[in-house]
């Protein structure tokens, strides 16, 4: 989140454009630190945006207050790819909540995935974003995430899955490769379908369980006898 409010930025731009105050006087008036060279550049950026887009340049639109059709998204992405304006400038122009949203559309377009009608949804960290996937989808999702600097959030948003799903798949892939992406739920093999070593492991578990159950019975009988002596 920006250190300076939209109201402060708008007021500073108006003062600058009126030409009655110097940059240093504007810094002093609005308590913008000490007028370092970086702050002069920051003020000039504010003014540039204000001249181009007015107050909308600093208004952070709330998520969910606007939808975009697939065709509208495509036009906006193509406008950006023409290279005339930055992500931020085009986002401001079209009232997109943030340049990150537009960046996701561009990534989706460059990945040759279909641009769909956009309806802002809950944050991808939420459990509700989870959905079932095939092994092929998981491979594609992991490959995309790894090729984009492990950007879990963007990957989750693009593919309509949760952040935790993407993180878990990448972690499994790092550990055991594509085999780690297999969904083993509900695929328990029968004893005659496994090798000798696995068969022995299962038999060992069964014996342990039986011994534990027998021990519980013995302890219970002892309790009963102690109770009868009372």
* HEC per residue, the chain: CCCCCHHHHHHHHHHHHHCCCCHHHHHHHCCCCCCCHHHHHHHHHHHHHHHHHHHHHHCCCCCCCCCECHHHHHHHHHHHHCCCCCHHHHHHHCCCCCHHHHHHHHHHHHCCCCCCCECCCCCCCCHHHCCCCCHHHHHHHHHHHHHCCCCHHHHHHHHCCCHHHHHHHHHHHHHHHHHHHCCCCCCCCCHHHCCHHHHHHHHHHHHHHHHHHHHHHHHHHHHHHHHHHC
State the average pLDDT for the chain.
76
Averaged pLDDT for residues 73-83: 89
How many CA within 13 A on the CB side of residue 89?
A: 13
Averaged pLDDT for residues 115-142: 67
The β-bridge partners of 118 are 68
Picking from 36-40, 45-49, 126-130, 162-166, which range would have the lowest pLDDT averaged per residue?
126-130
Predicted confidence band of residue 124 (pLDDT cuts 50, 70, 90): very low
pLDDT (0 to 100) of residue 57:
73
Averaged pLDDT for residues 49-53: 79
Predicted confidence band of residue 128 (pLDDT cuts 50, 70, 90): very low
pLDDT (0 to 100) of residue 221:
64
- Is residue 186 predicted with pLDDT exceeding 60? no
- Is residue 129 predicted with pLDDT exceeding 70? no
Averaged pLDDT for residues 158-186: 81
Averaged pLDDT for residues 47-52: 82
Give the burial string for 30-56 (b: 16+ CB within 10 Å, else e): eebeebeeebeebbeebbebbeeeeee
CA distance 151 to 159: 12
Averaged pLDDT for residues 33-43: 74
Burial of 122 (0-12, 13-18, 19+ CB in 10 A): exposed
- Residue 49 Cα to chain centre, angstroms: 28
pLDDT (0 to 100) of residue 63:
42
- Is residue 147 predicted with pLDDT exceeding 80? yes
Predicted TM-score (pTM) of the model is 0.39
pLDDT (0 to 100) of residue 91:
79
Q: Which residues contact 213 (CB under 8 A, 6 or more apart)?
A: none
Q: Which two tokens stand for residue 148?
A: 């984009």
Percentage of the chain lying above the pLDDT 70 cut: 71
- Is residue 193 predicted with pLDDT exceeding 60? no
């Amino acid at each position: 989140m920006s250190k300076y409010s939209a109201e402060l930025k708008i007021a500073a731009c108006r003062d600058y454009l009126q030409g009655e105050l110097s940059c240093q006087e504007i810094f002093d008036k609005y308590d913008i630190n000490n007028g370092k060279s970086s702050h002069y550049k920051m003020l000039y950026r504010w003014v540039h945006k204000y001249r181009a887009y007015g107050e909308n340049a600093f208004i952070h639109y709330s998520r969910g207050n606007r939808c975009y059709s697939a065709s509208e998204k495509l036009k906006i992405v193509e406008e950006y790819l023409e290279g005339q304006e930055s992500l931020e400038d085009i986002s401001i122009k079209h009232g997109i909540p943030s340049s990150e949203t537009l960046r996701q559309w561009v990534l989706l377009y460059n990945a040759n995935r279909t641009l769909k009608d956009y309806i802002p949804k809950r944050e991808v960290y939420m459990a509700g974003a989870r959905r079932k996937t095939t092994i092929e989808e998981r491979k594609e999702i992991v490959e995309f995430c790894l090729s984009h600097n492990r950007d879990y959030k963007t990957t989750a948003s693009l593919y309509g899955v949760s952040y935790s799903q993407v993180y878990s798949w990448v972690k499994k892939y790092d550990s055991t490769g594509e085999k780690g992406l297999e969904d083993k739920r509900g695929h328990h093999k029968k004893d005659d379908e496994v090798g000798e070593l696995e068969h022995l492991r299962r038999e060992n578990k069964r014996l342990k369980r039986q011994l534990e159950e027998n021990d519980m019975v013995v302890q219970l009988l002892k309790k009963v006898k102690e109770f009868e002596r009372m």
